[in-house]
């Protein structure tokens, strides 16, 4: 009868060596003769033996595994983060467990709890629900001594490392470009709102406001449109914007809103940039699918993943315990990706 999950003893019996010898061969510990190694490997191949990872973790208290928790596997940004992080982590000898929270704080909580159960060596969190799980995250760092790197979320009370986009600068660049290059002064902006996002302190809103102020334009809060992040809300809010005759540009603070905005403009027969200038914060594939191509900031999701992974690996390997004195804030910079939707490059 075939053995569903062959054990170390099954391999030892097949190879004709002790379980201890087979264990030393598998874990590359101690000397194993060439002939013995060949026989053990032949037995491993014949039985399709794979070590029971959980058992090894329990013995070593080190899993060589990193947990990567994201908001949504459907979002291009998070896919880029995964690719960037996984490349660095695999080269550093770590396996990666990916958890998709689907924008739900309860799923994020479950992902964090499972990460502890699997005894991961570190955690990268790229999720919008961190505010709901601050206490658990702090406990993982302080009690379980598992280092955590957080992407695009900053919580002063958490002793983690933070890798952040310079949201304020990015929004400033886009808003200023519309003002200085295209003389747009009535710029409507769509911003995310949720229990864990304070719009007044939100970097992208601050950059928008600062660009207006620096160019002598008073802030009109009637041009600020908050909503929960979804294509549907991007569509709905843009439809509302288009009913107003005094808006000459639309700035969506993420591509999810932007996708809905494009649909709303197309359905309404509004041409960008002829009728209204349009820019979005993120640079994803949809930005160059249909003409006019969308002006945004240059894409850096992969860089987020790479920098976060390197930061985490360095902390693990140097055995540096996270605390309020040595937690890092790393800001990722970018620049404009000038395309057609703002009014540039139409004649090229």
Contact residues for 255 (Cβ-Cβ < 8 A; gap 6+)? 76, 77, 280, 281, 282, 283, 284, 286, 287, 296
Of 30 and 230, more confident:
230
Domains of the chain by start residue, with CATH: 8-51 (1.10.260.40), 59-165+301-332 (3.40.50.2300), 167-299 (3.40.50.2300)
Q: Could you tell me the pLDDT band of residue 1, with boundaries at 50, 70 and 90?
A: very low
Whole-angstrom Cα distance, residue 264 to residue 45?
58
Of 212 and 285, more confident:
212
Whole-angstrom Cα distance, residue 182 to residue 276?
11
Residue indicated by tokens 């950059």: 207
Q: What is the pLDDT of residue 271?
A: 94
Whole-angstrom Cα distance, residue 66 to residue 63?
8
Q: What is the pLDDT of residue 40?
A: 94
Strands 187-192 and 161-165: unpaired
Are the beta carbons of 312 and 88 closer than 8 angstroms?
A: no
Report the percent of the chain where pLDDT is more than 90: 62
At residue 68, does pLDDT exceed 90? yes
Q: pLDDT (tens digit, 9 = 90+) per residue, 155-198?
A: 888 889 999 999 999 999 999 999 999 999 999 999 998 655 66
**Which of 249, 259, 269, 207 shows the shortest CA–CA distance to 229?**
259
**Which of 296, 272, 248 shows the shortest CA–CA distance to 346?**
272
Of 347 and 146, more confident:
146
Are the beta carbons of 96 and 121 closer than 8 angstroms?
A: no
Structure tokens at 282: 């993120």
Whole-angstrom Cα distance, residue 121 to residue 119?
6
Range scoring the smallest mean pLDDT among 10-14, 158-162, 325-329: 325-329
At residue 324, does pLDDT exceed 50? no
- Mean pLDDT of the region 276-290: 91
Q: pLDDT (tens digit, 9 = 90+) per residue, 76-118?
A: 889 999 999 999 999 999 999 999 998 888 999 999 998 988 8
Q: What is the pLDDT of residue 132?
A: 81
Contact residues for 327 (Cβ-Cβ < 8 A; gap 6+)? 159, 160, 161, 162
């Amino acid at each position: 009868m075939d053995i569903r999950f062959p054990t170390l003893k099954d391999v030892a019996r097949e190879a004709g060596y002790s379980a201890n010898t087979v264990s030393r061969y598998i874990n590359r510990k101690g000397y194993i003769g060439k002939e013995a190694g060949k026989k053990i490997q032949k037995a491993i191949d014949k039985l399709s033996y794979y070590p029971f990872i959980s058992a090894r973790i329990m013995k070593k208290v080190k899993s060589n595994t990193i947990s990567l928790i994201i908001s949504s596997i459907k979002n291009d940004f998070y896919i880029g983060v995964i690719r960037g992080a996984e490349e660095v982590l695999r080269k550093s000898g770590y396996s990666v467990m990916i958890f998709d929270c689907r924008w739900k704080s309860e799923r994020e909580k479950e992902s964090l709890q499972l990460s502890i159960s699997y005894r991961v060596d570190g955690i990268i969190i790229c999720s919008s629900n961190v505010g709901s799980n601050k206490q658990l995250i702090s406990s993982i760092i302080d009690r379980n001594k598992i280092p955590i790197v957080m992407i695009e979320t900053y919580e002063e009370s958490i002793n983690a490392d933070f890798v952040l986009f310079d949201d304020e600068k990015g929004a400033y660049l886009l808003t200023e470009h519309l003002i200085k290059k295209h003389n747009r002064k009535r710029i409507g902006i769509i911003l995310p709102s949720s229990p864990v996002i304070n719009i007044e302190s939100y970097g992208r809103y601050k950059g928008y406001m600062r660009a207006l102020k620096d160019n002598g334009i008073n802030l009109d809060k009637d041009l600020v449109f908050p909503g929960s992040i979804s294509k549907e809300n991007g569509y709905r809010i843009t439809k509302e914007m288009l009913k107003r005759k005094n808006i000459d540009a639309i700035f969506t603070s993420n591509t999810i809103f932007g996708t809905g905005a494009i649909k709303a403009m197309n359905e309404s027969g509004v041409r960008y940039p002829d009728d209204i200038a349009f820019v979005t914060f993120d640079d994803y594939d949809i930005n160059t699918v249909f003409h006019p191509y969308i002006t945004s900031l240059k894409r850096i999701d992969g860089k987020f993943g790479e920098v976060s992974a390197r930061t985490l690996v360095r902390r693990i390997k140097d055995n540096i315990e996270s605390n309020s004195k040595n937690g890092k804030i790393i800001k990722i910079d970018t620049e404009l990706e000038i395309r057609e939707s703002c009014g540039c490059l139409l004649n090229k």
